Every structure is written in C-alpha cells, then in structure tokens.
C-alpha cells in the first residue's frame, strides 16, 4: 500500500488536476457532492432529521466502501495508483493558494476574487492582510484535509478507506454546519469527520513543525490550537502561524454576520501579504516532502 501511495503522491505533485480531463468528465469529488446533495434534498425534511442524517451517512459510507473495494480488486496496481492520485490534492492546493498571492500583487480586488475561490467566508470587505490570512489558513487546513488525511486513510484501509474518508469529508463540507437546516441532519457527518481528522490534523502540525524555518515549541502549537473553533483545523493553522511568526484566524464575516474569533498566535505579525502566502506555499511543499520521506521509509520496511 505504501508503494502505491508513493507513486500516487508523485503523480499528483507532477500533474495535479488536469483541466482537459475534468472539463470532460466529473471529478469523483463532484460525484460525491452530488450524492450528498441528493440525500440532503430527499431526506432533510420533516421529523427525526438527526436519525435521517445518520442513515444518509451510513448509505454514503456503504457506497464509498463498495466502490473502493471494487476498484482495489482490479488486476494490477494502476487503477489503485491513479485513483489515489486523483483524490490527493497537494498540487491543486498549492496552485490555488499561490494564485491568491499573484492576484494580491495586482490589486486588493483581484486578491479578493482569488481568495473567494478557496474560502467560504465573506471576502468583499477584506483588506490585504485579511486576504493573506484567509489564504494561509486555507493552505494549512487543506494540507490536513486534502493531503495528510487521504494519505493516512489510504495507508490504513486502501482505496475503501480513502473513499470512505473523502465522502465523509465532502458531506461535512456540504451539510456539517450549525445552521437551522443542517444542525440536526449534518450532525453525524460533522462528528464523524472530526473523528477521522483527529490524527491527521496533529500529524500535519508535526510535519509543519519539523520543516519550519524557525524553532517552534509543541506546547505553543497546542495552546493556540485550542483557541480555534474546530477541534482539528486549529492544529495545522497554529503550526503554520508559529512557523511563519504570523497571526491567523481572528474576526471574519459569514453571510454578512461578523464573528469575533480569537487570533491564533496573537503575538505574531498581523500586517501580512503576498510574501507570507508564498512562504506558506513553500511550507506546504516542505511538509509534503517530509511526509513523502516517511512513506518511502515505510515502503523500504514494509514494501
């Protein structure tokens, strides 16, 4: 399994998500999203919405495990490697974050447009430091959700494990919100996603700490991670904030409502811009390289 993961990670880093392919065929994550949306439309109404949400998650997991098992049963390793490469997101993550730095160098307005493609918060009123913070937070969180966690669950459970993780993560991103519509129905998806990301989030923080350009104390990462509203996202964000000596998180607006979240690493620099985004992208690749080295070591020990 580690050999397949090594090949898949290298393929993803080299080619990312080719537009010529995904402009002609739906990406597997898009198909997962359609399945989640269909269940949301069909089941998220009336009474017993939490129970219906649990049932929906079980259906999604059963389908994901079955599809993963069928693909894994194909002769050879090519289908397994290609599928894993498609579901890893290192190259696309770094490209999207790098695009925010490039846009921000042109103008604040361009920076807002670029960052709106990767974050869900309101971007219309953002100044340059807020744009940079949003991009770097997305980089840190998605390094965990889009790279470390898929790789971890692929190592643990092969393609069935990878598909199961991705469908849960997709469900959480669509219905795992504490809104009147989704608080009950999305409860199971949100809680299960928290559980699946618990170890990967902390592994990501360790990887960032290991490749940081300055010494970081684990106790500082731990203290700041607990300031975050998420039980998992705070770990890679805190590690990234300390590695770059900047402040992340803080107040932001969702659907016109300003929320006063605390800063992660409040002593860090708050006046940031494209240069710090570029540094975050560099850390993404360094952390990826550290992870790849570990996978290579595993391959040598357990080919």
What is the reported pLDDT for 39?
96
| CA-wise closest residue to 132 among 274, 265, 244 | 274
pLDDT digit string, tens, across residues 245-302 = 999 988 887 877 777 888 899 999 999 999 999 999 999 999 999 999 999 888 887 7
Residue 245 DSSP one-character state: T
What is the reported pLDDT for 121?
85
Average pLDDT, the chain: 93
| Token digits of residue 205 | 């923080």
The Cα-based distances of 100 to 38, 135, 138, 142 in angstroms read: 32, 7, 11, 15
8 A C-beta contact, residue 156 and residue 300: no
| Share of residues in the chain with pLDDT > 90 (%) | 82
8 A C-beta contact, residue 209 and residue 243: yes
Is the predicted pLDDT of residue 303 greater than 70, yes or no?
A: no
Least confident of 117-121, 221-225, 282-286: 117-121
pLDDT digit string, tens, across residues 95-111 = 999 999 999 999 999 99
Q: How far apart are CA 112 and CA 127, in angstroms?
A: 8
- Decide: residue 17, CB within 10 A, 0-12 exposed, 13-18 middle, 19+ buried: middle
DSSP-derived secondary structure for 73-88: TSSSSHHHHHHHHHH-
What is the reported pLDDT for 283?
97
């Amino acid at each position: 399994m580690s050999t397949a993961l090594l090949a898949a990670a290298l393929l993803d880093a080299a080619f990312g998500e080719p537009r010529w392919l995904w402009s002609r065929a739906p990406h597997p994550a898009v198909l997962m999203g359609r399945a989640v949306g269909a269940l949301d439309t069909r089941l998220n109404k009336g009474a017993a919405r939490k129970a219906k949400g649990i049932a929906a998650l079980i259906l999604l997991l059963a389908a994901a495990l079955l599809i993963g098992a069928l693909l894994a049963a194909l002769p050879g390793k090519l289908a397994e490697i290609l599928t894993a490469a498609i579901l890893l997101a290192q190259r696309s993550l770094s490209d999207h974050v790098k695009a925010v730095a490039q846009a921000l160098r042109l103008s604040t307005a361009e920076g807002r447009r670029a960052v709106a493609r990767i974050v869900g918060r309101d971007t219309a009123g953002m100044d340059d430091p807020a744009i940079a913070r949003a991009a770097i937070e997305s980089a840190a969180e998605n390094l965990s959700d889009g790279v470390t966690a898929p790789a971890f669950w692929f190592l643990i459970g092969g393609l069935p494990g990878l598909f199961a993780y991705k469908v849960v993560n997709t469900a959480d991103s669509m219905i795992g919100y504490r809104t009147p519509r989704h608080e009950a129905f999305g409860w199971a998806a949100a809680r299960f996603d928290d559980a699946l990301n618990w170890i990967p989030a902390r592994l990501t923080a360790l990887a960032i700490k290991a490749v940081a350009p300055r010494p970081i104390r684990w106790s500082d990462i731990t203290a700041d991670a607990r300031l975050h509203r998420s039980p998992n996202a705070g770990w890679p964000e805190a590690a990234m904030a300390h590695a770059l000596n900047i402040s992340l998180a803080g107040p932001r607006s969702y659907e016109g409502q300003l929320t006063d979240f605390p800063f992660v690493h409040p002593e860090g620099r708050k006046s940031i811009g494209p240069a710090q985004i570029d540094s975050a992208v560099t850390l993404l690749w360094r952390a990826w390289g550290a992870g790849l080295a570990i996978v290579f070591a595993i391959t040598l020990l357990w080919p």
